[in-house]
């Protein structure tokens, strides 16, 4: 998404995944036990959690960033193994309806003057009138390899693979991996760099129109 942003001067990036991660991360500061948190979050309004925990989305340098209680959230923390698993669990049991409504309004507002690149799950549920719905995928082994690089080799490869498989199961269960009639599925397993993956994506879209 960031590479696409570089290639389109009139674009902005809304990282919806990190919005959800920031909310869940704020909840984990109060209840770090994921099993207890899972019981607490069943059918709870996640947008209310966002407001109560003072999670704020701001646009800086053409990209969304997130603040918790006025402090910039660290992306490495948001992308951690614990946060990733918690998001997959809570995303499937919380009430997301008002958060999705908030996101729709935000995208509508941003689209008035920009092409909007949105990264996240359940995007067709959130905003069905997309110009392009792209499902970027890769083989399990390649995803494990890239996630280990993202974690700066601090995590055991077997543990990372187990965690990804668990997340896949939870996200399929929640409907986050649904393929719609207008979904463009792009496999980037063989791509050797982010730029190469981006160029493959660009083969499917007209960058002059809204993303």
Percent of the chain at pLDDT exceeding 90: 80
Give the pLDDT confidence of 68-115 residue by residue, as tens digits: 999 999 988 998 888 888 999 999 999 999 999 999 999 999 999 999
The residues facing 137 across adjacent strands are 187
Residue 113 pLDDT: 94
Give the pLDDT confidence of 1-13 residue by residue, as tens digits: 999 999 998 999 9
Alpha-carbon dihedral sign for residues 73, 111, 134, 102 = positive
């Amino acid at each position: 998404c960031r590479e696409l942003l570089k290639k389109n001067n009139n674009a902005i990036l809304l990282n919806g995944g990190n919005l959800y991660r920031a909310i869940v991360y704020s909840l984990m500061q109060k209840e770090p036990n994921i099993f207890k948190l899972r019981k607490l979050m069943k059918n709870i309004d996640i947008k209310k959690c966002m407001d109560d925990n003072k999670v704020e989305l701001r646009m800086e340098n053409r990209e969304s960033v997130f603040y918790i209680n006025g402090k910039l959230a660290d992306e490495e923390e948001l992308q951690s193994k614990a946060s990733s698993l918690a998001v997959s669990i809570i995303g499937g049991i919380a009430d997301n309806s008002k958060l999705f409504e908030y996101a729709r309004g935000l995208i509508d507002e941003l689209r008035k003057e920009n092409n909007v690149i949105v990264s996240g799950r359940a995007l067709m549920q959130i905003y069905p009138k997309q110009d392009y719905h792209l499902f970027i995928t890769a083989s399990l082994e390649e995803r494990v390899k890239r996630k280990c690089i993202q974690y700066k080799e601090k995590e055991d490869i077997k543990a990372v693979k187990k965690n990804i498989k668990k997340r896949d199961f939870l996200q399929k269960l929640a409907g986050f991996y649904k393929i719609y009639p207008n979904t463009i599925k792009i496999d980037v397993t063989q791509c050797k760099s982010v730029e190469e993956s981006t160029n493959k994506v660009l083969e499917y879209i007209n960058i002059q129109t809204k993303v």
